[in-house]
Structure 1
Amino acid sequence: MAVNRRHFLAQIAWLTGGLLFYRCTPAKDLALSGKTIGGTISASGKGLKDVVVSDGYSVVATDKKGKFEIVLHPDAIALFISTPAGYDFIQEKGIARHYRLVQNIDLSKETNFELTQLTKDDNEHQFVIWADPQVKNAKDVEKMMAESVPSTIKTIATNSDALWHGITVGDIVWDELKLFADYDRAVEKMGIPFFQCLGNHDMDYRKGGDETSDDTFSLTYGPTYYSFNRGQVHYVVLDNVRYLGTERNYDGFVQQNQLDWLQKDLAFVPKDKLVVLCLHIPVHKGTKNNEALYSLLKDRNVHIMSGHTHYNVNAIRDNIYEHNHGTVCGAWWTGPICEDGTPSGYGVYKVKGTELTWHYQATGKPVDYQMKIYSTDFSASEKQVVVNIW
């Protein structure tokens, strides 16, 4: 079926000058499949050595002149760099743009990336994790812009001299993909670079299987798995939402091509670096092949950032600490509370070398709002007290 589909798309693209192909499928420009893509990674006109470049299948590093070559895999949708420590993130109005979509690559030209060196040490930096903004309509967007965005701006302002970035760990929207544009406005207003993970509500339905479910997301935000670096931290984004071909039918699973890519990517990362791995569905509970992922992360200092459950849970397994976050949307924008009683909010993280500290920031609340106490009369002489700590 895949061969027939590609042949059909190729014929349609030829008949329409590529317009339909461009709009519907970012993946798989057949004319570039198997071709060698070359380019240079540079800063201030000087090539940068050992910058990692990938198409999601092969992973290479630039030579001493900053040059790279990579043979494009038939299923590659983008060529992307793993931004090295010490350099600013390539972004457009806050949205990370560390990639070139394959459909936009011109073989007659080099595919170059120009980086800008940071003016401050990035061994200390901060980041926020947004889980499940999950906007469905204009009212949800209005609440996000009026509540979550100002709260995040206020958090960033508490240490305005720091280097900040954000990562949204999926369910950017609630099936209404046209609202990606409103999320982008929120990112622009917050004023820091944001990286995006795919969630189960960010997919295209009714187009086929898992291989087509990411099309709109990829056209908007690029590859669904990639990495980047800041200071002593190696950040990884994965896609563990496997679409099963019928509407809203999915499971938590990291496809083998991603596991293969991750093994190659981590081969360039010294074992003493902190690894922060971001995805949508929790790994400790909800990802069917979590053991395969855990095996690639053994002997490393790893923190996993996830969302999806609308619960706030910390799960520790050996060297791996998973932060399963409460949601930005709370009760799907009907109230400022998650299913476990955690208030709507987001994670705030501070990095110092390879040390990571954090707190959960309830939207619109002071930073020390970390619990809620519930008290009821149990009997004439006793009270029942429940403390919810997040």
Structure 2
Amino acid sequence: MKQLVLWMLLCTAAGTATAQGYTGRVYQDRNGNGVFDAGEPGLGGVKVSNGLDVVLTAADGAYTLPEYGKARFIFISTPAGYRFSKSFYTRIGTGNTSYDFGVQTVGAAAAGGRARFVRMTDTETFRYGQWATDIKNYVRNEGADFLIHTGDICYEKGLQFHAQQINTETMGVPTYYCIGNHDLVKGAYGEELYESLFGPVYYSFDVGDVHFVVTPMLYGDYKASYTAADVYNWLQKDLALMDKQQSLVLFNHDLLTYDSVFLYKNGKGGAINLNDHQLKAWIYGHWHNNFSRVHGNSNIRSICAGPAADGGIDNAASNFDVITVGQQGVEQVQRRYTYVDNQLTVLSPTATGVAMQGDSLTISVNAYHTASVVKAVHYRLYDSKGQLRQQVALKPVTDWNWQARIALPANYLSVVFNGQATATFSNGKVLFASDTFRVNRPKGVAAGEWTTMLGNALRNAKADRTGWVQPKLLWMNNAGGHIWKGAPVYAAGKVFVATIDDEENKNCGITALDARTGQVSWHYKTRNSIKQAISCSEGVVLGTDAEGITYALRAADGHLLWKSNTLMQSLAVYDGGGVVKDGIYYTGSGNYMQAFRISNGEVLWTNKEWKGGEGTPAAMAIQDNLLVTGANWQSLFGHDIRTGQLLWKRSDEGLRFRSGGASFYDKQVYVTGINKLHVIDAMSGETKDSIPVPYALKTMTAPVVTDRHIVLCTAEQGIMAYDRQSKQLSWTFRPEEALFYSAPYTLYPAATVEATPVRVGDKLVVGASDGYLYVLEAGSGKVSARYHFGSPVLAEVAVSGNLLFAADFAGNVAAFVL
């Protein structure tokens, strides 16, 4: 009898739970009206959740979920081969007695089980801009399975704007969001506004053979109602129903771990080992930089991106990325730089420059459009009579540059030619460029080494070459990867540059080119991008990549002499530049800043004085025994180069927030804060003088100090020169609008200069983000010559004898005769 009563009580309890739970169905919404109509079949095997429990629908699409006290939504994991017709979630308590979800088949199944999607992050704006149009048009032109924003949308206005303007309907593909720290805003609880606009803060969906999981930031500006345990408990149940043949990709606003084992913890001692669930990628934002790496031998790739709307904190280019994932992991990462509109530039041959290799003409074309990929570039060469002499299809070298070489007739020195280039984009648009030119063979001779960015450790170099008017192109070649701040250096007949690959880590490294011909002598692939200055000393080329690994390569042949084992164990990314003095190479940041003996890689000292901060894309500087370095959002530091001892630090008056480096002049340190130049006593670290500047100085440059002027590069208004004695503005130079934006939070119509000018006689030579290399009169700022690269020129030039070496973002390295 007691057993019968107990059985009846259990049945009653079960019936009550069912009655108080949530029911509904997932169905194929064939007419797309979001309503379950007669004849529309249910869909079985779909995951449905209340935020804790996860169940599968029955064959007819029906499901039942128990009640959960913290539940605010019922949501589905949209299955592979389908997209939600209205929404993947429904709020509880809106008068619903049943929670139905309609799905529709996608036009074509993901090829080979792959998922291809567009990711943006950290847009932090409430204003519509070209960046949004670029993403929308890219999806329209190139296709994508979905679009996702990995957080910091941001604040109340930003959340409202994105919900209205960047959604599934407006973008044309399913559009998902992650919650970031700045998306937890004032309300009854931190995520209240986010939920009202975007739904649950954690959920999952399937595309192809990939299971995608969105997880929330666990901290932020306001306290969230969810906990690590809440997410953990749901995630455990979600993964338990994951197909074992699927690969797993997680989205979050921040990186879970720098380690090779990804443990999702509940804060109470429990942990899910995501590696055991075929984790292939962790995709995040938060750091406002472009960075990608594989975690140990795990085959797990983490991918960060800078903002789509503006420049990154470490001056990362504005961008969104396109990621393809399959069963085996990340197959492709493509970064698309926002704001670049229908660019086609012939670098050689033109009326202002003809590059040769032997008797072969170098055809080099930069072509790019954010929203549409270049499919083909062709070049036709006509003689003065209009007869077609050559036609060639160019080959892509980088995603921006296309090249070919063609033989010229024997009498080419006396012939006027006309060249015509066409670029065809995937959206069907064709761009056309034409120019008339005559081949000349200028003679260039390198004399004197230029072994580090800006020529010396003071970062305030001057080349003595005088009497020249306009540089003449001698040769041009491409290093095979983008060049950020890895400025050319010259030694022993070779030009060395550093390349980046913040997507797949394939095209990053150090490349040596013959200074006479431009032919590649050797290339050494590094583990990750070398973003800043490299140096050459004692026949050794030195550089440090974004993961903190230092490489010492024999300059003659690229042979690895030694490599540091100082792998960084945490973010931020290392994107600064090292410096050489007296056989010692100084490099790194925080606890990873070290002094290496160049001859054998011996570590002479390691910094223990400070840590933290964001990446600072600036190069170190040395005068006497003082090393000046810094960290963004931290401080400017002065160290004793002999011991590493911290002598002074400054974080006041905007010096904490810096993108640029320091330069020395007359035993004083010249450095900029956010909008002020500081002249600092080298020994004490005290400010001796300053100049307020009305514009943002958030560029990757150092002040240029001459006997007459202090020259500063700005994020929005080009270059400003101040009189050293009166501190009054002497002249300004404003280039054209930047092709993409790099300085932090910089937007249209910024005229950005990210390269420090180099003094060459009575002139300044400087690249700008508008794609031009400029020659300015040092006394007036007047433009005396310019050369069009057609992609941003972010790196400083190098000078040796009557040769000037320059590099653009597209990876082109050029030699000019002065």
What is the TM-score of this pair, normalised by structure 2?
Answer: 0.37
Structure 1 equivalent of residue 775 of structure 2: none
Structure 2 equivalent of residue 130 of structure 1: 120
Aligned match for 1:156, one of 132, 139, 153: 139
Alignment of 1:249-288 (within 5 A): 255-284=228-257
Tell me, in whole angstroms, the C-alpha distance in 2 between the residues paired with 1:240 and 1:290. 15
Tell me, in whole angstroms, the C-alpha distance in 1 between the residues paired with 2:482 and 2:163. 29
Tell me, in whole angstroms, the C-alpha distance in 1 between the residues paired with 2:272 and 2:294. 12
Name the amino acid aligned to 1:359. Q
Name the amino acid aligned to 2:176. F
Structure 1 equivalent of residue 203 of structure 2: 226
Name the amino acid aligned to 1:344. S
Q: How far is the alpha carbon of 1:218 from its aligned partner?
A: 0.4
Structure 2 equivalent of residue 363 of structure 1: 338
Tell me, in whole angstroms, the C-alpha distance in 2 between the residues paired with 1:297 and 1:377. 43
Q: 1:373 and 1:59, CA in 2 relative to 1: closer, same or farther beyond 3 A?
A: closer
Q: How far is the alpha carbon of 1:113 from its aligned partner?
A: 1.3
8 A Cα contact 1:300 1:319, kept in partner: no
The unaligned stretches of length 5 or more in structure 1 are 1-31, 92-96, 331-336
User: What number of residue pairs does the alignment pair up?
Assistant: 325
Q: 1:231 and 1:386, CA in 2 relative to 1: closer, same or farther beyond 3 A?
A: closer
Q: 1:377 and 1:38, CA in 2 relative to 1: closer, same or farther beyond 3 A?
A: closer
Alignment of 1:76-115 (within 5 A): 76-91=71-86, 97-107=87-97, 110-115=98-103
Tell me, in whole angstroms, the C-alpha distance in 2 between the residues paired with 1:301 and 1:285. 14
1:330-362 deviation digits (Å, cap 9, x = unpaired): 3xxxxxx32334311011023455553211211
Q: 1:281 and 1:254, CA in 2 relative to 1: closer, same or farther beyond 3 A?
A: farther
8 A Cα contact 1:198 1:241, kept in partner: no
1:69 maps to 2:59? no
Q: 1:216 and 1:267, CA in 2 relative to 1: closer, same or farther beyond 3 A?
A: same
1:12-60 deviation digits (Å, cap 9, x = unpaired): xxxxxxxxxxxxxxxxxxxx99921111111151121111100110111
**Larger Cα-atom Rg:** 2
8 A Cα contact 1:376 1:385, kept in partner: yes
Aligned match for 1:165, one of 143, 146, 169: 146
Q: 1:100 and 1:267, CA in 2 relative to 1: closer, same or farther beyond 3 A?
A: same
8 A Cα contact 1:50 1:62, kept in partner: yes
Name the amino acid aligned to 2:309. C
Q: How far is the alpha carbon of 1:300 from its aligned partner?
A: 0.9
Tell me, in whole angstroms, the C-alpha distance in 2 between the residues paired with 1:66 and 1:55. 16
Q: Identify, as 1 or 2, the structure richer in helix.
A: 1
Structure 1 equivalent of residue 617 of structure 2: none
Tell me, in whole angstroms, the C-alpha distance in 2 between the residues paired with 1:111 and 1:186. 26
Structure 1 equivalent of residue 294 of structure 2: 316
Aligned match for 1:347, one of 321, 334, 343: 321
Q: Which stretch has the larger CA shift, 374-383 or 231-240?
A: 374-383
What is the TM-score of this pair, normalised by structure 1?
Answer: 0.74
1:108-151 deviation digits (Å, cap 9, x = unpaired): xx22112222342233442101111111x5xxx14xx22x1232
Structure 1 equivalent of residue 434 of structure 2: none
Tell me, in whole angstroms, the C-alpha distance in 2 between the residues paired with 1:377 and 1:268. 56
Secondary structure class of the residue paired with 1:340: coil
Tell me, in whole angstroms, the C-alpha distance in 2 between the residues paired with 1:308 and 1:291. 19
Q: How far is the alpha carbon of 1:325 from its aligned partner?
A: 1.7
Secondary structure class of the residue paired with 2:138: helix
Q: 1:73 and 1:237, CA in 2 relative to 1: closer, same or farther beyond 3 A?
A: same
Q: Which stretch has the larger CA shift, 33-42 or 122-131?
A: 33-42
Secondary structure class of the residue paired with 2:181: coil
Relative contact order, CA 8 A, sep 6+: which one is greater? 1
1:36 maps to 2:147? no
1:218-245 deviation digits (Å, cap 9, x = unpaired): 01111000001111111110012324xx
The unaligned stretches of length 5 or more in structure 2 are 1-16, 31-39, 266-270, 341-367, 374-398, 401-480, 503-818
Secondary structure class of the residue paired with 2:135: helix
Q: How far is the alpha carbon of 1:103 from its aligned partner?
A: 2.7
8 A Cα contact 1:298 1:319, kept in partner: no
Secondary structure class of the residue paired with 1:47: coil
8 A Cα contact 1:172 1:183, kept in partner: no
8 A Cα contact 1:177 1:202, kept in partner: no
RMSD: 3.1
Name the amino acid aligned to 2:193. T
